[in-house]
């Protein structure tokens, strides 16, 4: 099953395929969250069809499935991959049945992960692939990524080969069990992949659904436009915290940094933007915003140093992103604003990051630098909209990557 005994993915050596991540998502514990999803109920005699856009190309593809938060083995009765036409439709003639150590189905142990065998799929950068998974038996709650801002489709029965997209009558905007799509083109894999890592702003909250308008998408497009195309992976989780695990919003940044960033194939650089929720949660009393200790600036800086140290030990460059203005949001208080300013000053001047992406300066309102510029604000005073995410990508120093 292209995996190690502990459930982690194996890496091909020697003359085998040289894999590079084409798309990835960070997985979370099942929860209801703020969007309708199927994570807690799971699946039974149902097919889930999911669409992802890759930022590099290849002639072969394989998928990685995660059952990290499962409490019993997961049975995947069948899987396919194809190039996407529109919505739940696939391009005729491009569908490939996926196998796992040569078998059409696979059993994933609780807490484990598995990679499929390679399938011949020719895909170009910025094209989309459709991955369909059939679960014949009840799965229990599903390991998932809550805020995909991409539509997932569900149908009753085995619809792996369905041509008519109308059979997929249910939708959500989350991804289920799908953690990575890796690509190979027969040549040597480079070590040039960029990962953007953080919370909902990295995840693309409030970006256009199915529009691929996250800042990671815009950064990949910017790199391609200047003639230096590189894969860009998104390792954001909405609500994620630097210092604390959350039942709703994923493991803390330091706990997931290795598996979501450093263990991906071909990683050279990471852009870190996290800490907003550590500041803001402590200002609000909501069940989902727990734990919410009043973390000091020193504690947050220690959290950043943990990430920097891990990246440098792995030979990965790390860019620090400044925390953007959030005046007018529920997070904003004088104490929260003071923390933001002090942390940003440290990010800009400490020299501990290899480079700085000054998102705060790039998206601030010139008339009120503690607030987002109206043209970049999605409307909630803390998340950018599509134009803001494009401005974030423009603020990244490409030479620093």
Summarize pLDDT for 343-392 with one digit per residue, the tens.
Answer: 999 999 999 999 999 999 999 999 999 999 999 999 999 999 999 999 99
* Residue at token pair 């002090």: 342
Strands 119-123 and 58-66: antiparallel
Which residues have C-beta within 8 Å of that of residue 45, sequence separation ≥ 6? 135, 136, 137, 156, 157, 158
Bridge partners of residue 11, in order along the sequence: none
* pTM, 2 dp: 0.95
Residue of 189, 152, 225 whose CA lies nearest to 18: 189
Per-residue confidence (pLDDT) for residue 6, from 0 to 100: 38
Per-residue confidence (pLDDT) for residue 187, from 0 to 100: 62
Per-residue confidence (pLDDT) for residue 186, from 0 to 100: 64
Per-residue confidence (pLDDT) for residue 34, from 0 to 100: 63
- The torsion of the CA quartet 186, 192, 198, 199, rounded to 10 degrees, works out to -40
Summarize pLDDT for 242-296 with one digit per residue, the tens.
Answer: 999 999 999 999 999 999 999 999 999 999 999 999 999 999 999 999 999 999 9
Per-residue confidence (pLDDT) for residue 11, from 0 to 100: 38
Task: Give the angle subtended at the CA of 157 by the CAs of 209 and 80, to the nearest 5°.
Answer: 60
All structural domains of the chain: 20-183 (2.60.120), 190-400 (3.40.50.1110)
Length of the chain: 401
Per-residue confidence (pLDDT) for residue 296, from 0 to 100: 98
Per-residue confidence (pLDDT) for residue 189, from 0 to 100: 63
What residues of the chain score a pLDDT lower than 50? 1-14
Q: Give CA separation, 161 vs 78, 92, 94, 170, 285, in Å.
A: 10, 11, 11, 17, 48
Tell me the average pLDDT of the chain: 94
Per-residue confidence (pLDDT) for residue 355, from 0 to 100: 98
């Amino acid at each position: 099953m292209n995996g190690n005994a502990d459930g982690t993915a194996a890496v091909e050596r020697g003359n085998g395929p040289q894999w590079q991540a084409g798309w990835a998502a960070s997985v979370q514990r099942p929860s209801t969250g703020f969007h309708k999803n199927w994570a807690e109920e799971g699946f039974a005699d149902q097919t889930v069809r999911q669409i992802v856009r890759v930022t590099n190309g290849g002639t072969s593809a394989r998928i990685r499935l995660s059952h990290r938060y499962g409490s019993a083995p997961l049975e995947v009765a069948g899987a396919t991959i194809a190039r996407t036409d529109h919505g739940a439709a696939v391009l005729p003639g491009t569908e490939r049945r996926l196998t796992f150590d040569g078998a059409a189905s696979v059993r994933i142990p609780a807490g484990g992960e598995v990679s499929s065998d390679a399938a011949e799929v020719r895909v170009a950068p910025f094209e989309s692939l459709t991955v369909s998974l059939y679960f014949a038996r009840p799965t229990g709650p599903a390991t998932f990524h809550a805020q995909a801002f991409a539509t997932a489709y569900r149908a009753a029965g085995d619809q792996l080969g369905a041509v008519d997209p109308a059979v997929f009558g249910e939708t959500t905007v989350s991804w289920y069990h799908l953690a990575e799509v890796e690509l190979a083109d027969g040549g040597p894999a480079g070590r040039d992949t960029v990962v953007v890592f953080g919370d909902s702003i990295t995840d693309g909250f409030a970006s256009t659904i199915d529009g691929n308008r996250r800042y990671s998408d815009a950064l990949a497009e910017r790199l391609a436009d200047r003639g230096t195309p590189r894969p860009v992976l998104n390792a954001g989780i909405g609500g994620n915290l630097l210092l604390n695990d959350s039942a709703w919003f994923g493991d803390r940044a330091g706990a997931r940094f290795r598996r979501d960033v450093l263990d991906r194939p071909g990683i050279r650089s990471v852009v870190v933007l996290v800490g907003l929720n550590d500041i803001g949660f402590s200002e609000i009393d909501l069940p989902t915003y727990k734990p919410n200790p009043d973390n000091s600036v020193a504690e947050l800086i220690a959290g950043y140093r943990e990430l920097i140290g891990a990246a440098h030990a792995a030979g990965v460059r790390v860019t620090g992103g400044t925390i953007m203005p959030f005046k007018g949001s529920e997070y904003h208080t004088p104490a929260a604003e003071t923390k933001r300013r002090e942390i940003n000053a440290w990010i800009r001047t400490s020299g501990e990051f290899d480079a700085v992406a000054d998102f705060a300066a790039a998206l601030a309102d010139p008339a009120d630098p503690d607030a987002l510029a109206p043209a970049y604000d999605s409307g909630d005073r803390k998340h950018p909209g599509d134009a803001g995410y494009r401005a974030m990508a423009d603020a990244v120093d490409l030479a620093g990557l």
